[in-house]
Structure formats: C-alpha cells, structure tokens
Amino acid sequence: MANKNALVLFSGGQDSTTCLFWALKNFEKVSAIGFDYGQRHQSELAAATGLTDLAGISYSVYKINTFSSISKNALTNTEIEIDSSVTADQPPNTLVEGRNLLFLTYAAICAKQLQADNLVMGVGQTDYSGYPDCRNDFIQSANKTINFAFDHEFIIHTPLMWKTKAQIWEMSDHLGVFDIVREKTVTCYNGIQGGGCGDCPSCRLRQKGLDEYFAIRSSEMKS
C-alpha cells in the first residue's frame, strides 16, 4: 500500500501550483522538485521558489543541460521564435520532446529517497495544447514503466487530467488559492508573472479559461 508522502513536479506555473496545493490537502508530507533544463526564462524557477516558501515545503531544483543541444524547440533555444499559431496537425514548436518522461524518471529517483510513493504532476489531456506527453495514455504507461524500472509501487497522480482551464481556475478557487495562482505563478512563455504577456499561446489559453470561469461564476451568483 502506498504511503501518504508525495513529491510534486513543480514548475511554478498555474497547473503545477494548483496541484501543489491539492497535494497539501491530500497527503501528509509534501515536497516539490523542479528542473532547470535551459528554459527561456529563470523567472518560473524564482516563482516556484517563492511559492514553495509560501507553502512551507522543501523544493529541490536539478539541472538538466542537454535539451538545447539535442532538441530543436523554442523553449530551450532563444534563437527560435515562439510560434503563436497552434494547428491540429502538428505540435507547437514549444514542445520539448521527452521532457515529461525524463522529469518523471528524475522525480522517481528522488521520491524513492524521500520515501514518497506518490508523484503529483499537473498535466492534462483536455487542454493539452498538442503535447503528447501530457496525455493520460502516456502517464499510465510511464507509471507502469517506472514501477518496473525501480521495482517499487509509485502512483502518479494527475488531478487536472480531465479538466479544462476554466475548471482548473475553479479548482484553485475551491482550494482557497485563486489569488495566489493568478498573481504569483509564471505560465507565460515570455516569463512574465501573473497575467503574462497576453499574446503567447500559453497566456491566451490561461486567459480564455479565466474568462470562462468568471462567466460561470457570475451565472451561478445570479441564479
């Protein structure tokens, strides 16, 4: 039987921050792990540090310095301009292939040392933006593979898997951290905290979800 300790894969963005506070409600001991993988902006790591300090939990950041040399993508190569257009027939150029598989492997190594049987990750399939390693099939497969590799029973929790961005905003509100998520997270591909640049695909998706949630909340208040 899995213990009640959890390790959250934490980036300091909207989704992982919502998952962090979800984990604090559902597990006895929570720690967080992050990665400096050559992403365009260090502001998300700074935001993550501030958020884990606020939550009163430990946060360890590990450096992975290979993505920029082996993968052509706009998140780890500043010479590639972020493509703001998203089409159904091809993934966005911000896709860092293999990233979540590698992150989960590192996280499992740390989690076993921490005696944490639960890994918490803020991926979701409903608004997955073309990232194949955010889908449920991948998570289920990775969970089995990691358990075989470590000869240990981890459980990967993905509380946002079937939620829209509007529902994720609602979840943060129910957790009592709506303002924290709105003001202190970094989701923007240009590294701007809070509402972000407003133009990159990540900011547009975040704002669309927020607008939808405000509309739902307003409707409920009137009824």
Question: Token pair 């260090």 is at which residue?
Answer: 42
Provide the β-strand partners of residue 59.
32
Quick one: which of 64, 65, 32 has its CA closest to 49? 32
In order of start, what are the domains of the chain with their CATH numbers? Answer: 5-163 (3.40.50.620)
Q: Are 14 and 209 in contact (CB under 8 A)?
A: no
pTM over 0.85: yes
> For residue 89, what pLDDT is reported?
62
Quick one: which of 35, 14, 1 has its CA closest to 184? 14
> For residue 84, what pLDDT is reported?
62
Within a 10 A sphere around the Cβ of 209, how many other Cβ atoms? 20
> For residue 80, what pLDDT is reported?
66
> For residue 126, what pLDDT is reported?
85
Within a 10 A sphere around the Cβ of 79, how many other Cβ atoms? 7
Instruction: Give the ranges where the chain is alpha helix by DSSP (H).
Output: 14-26, 43-55, 67-70, 99-114, 136-150, 165-174, 178-184, 201-222
Within a 10 A sphere around the Cβ of 130, how many other Cβ atoms? 15
Taken in order 32, 121, 127, 101, the sign of the CA dihedral is: positive
pLDDT truncated to tens, each residue of the chain (223 aa)?
A: 678 999 999 999 999 999 999 999 999 999 999 999 777 778 999 999 999 999 999 999 999 887 766 777 656 666 667 776 655 566 776 666 778 999 999 999 999 999 999 999 999 998 766 788 889 999 999 999 999 999 999 999 999 999 999 999 999 999 999 999 999 999 998 899 999 999 988 899 999 999 999 998 887 777 6
Instruction: Give the ranges where 28-177 is alpha helix by DSSP (H).
Output: 43-55, 67-70, 99-114, 136-150, 165-174
Name the CA dihedral angle for 27, 11, 121, 103, rounded to a multiple of 10 degrees: -120
> For residue 78, what pLDDT is reported?
67
